[in-house]
Amino acid sequence: MTLTDYLHKKRISYAEYARMIGVSSETVRRYCIGARLPTRAIIEYIFNETGGRVTPNDFFSLPKKIRVSGVDE
Q: Which whole number is the average pLDDT over 57-70?
A: 71
Q: Which whole number is the average pLDDT over 6-31?
A: 96
pLDDT band at 66 (very low <50, low <70, confident <90, very high): low
Q: Which whole number is the average pLDDT over 34-59?
A: 94
Q: What is the mean pLDDT of the chain?
A: 89
Domains and CATH numbers, the chain: 3-59 (1.10.260)
User: Pick the residue with more confidence: 58 or 60?
Assistant: 58
As separate numbers, helices (DSSP H) first and strands (DSSP E) second, the chain gives 4, 0
pTM of the model: 0.79
Contacting residues for 72 by C-beta, under 8 A, at least 6 apart: none
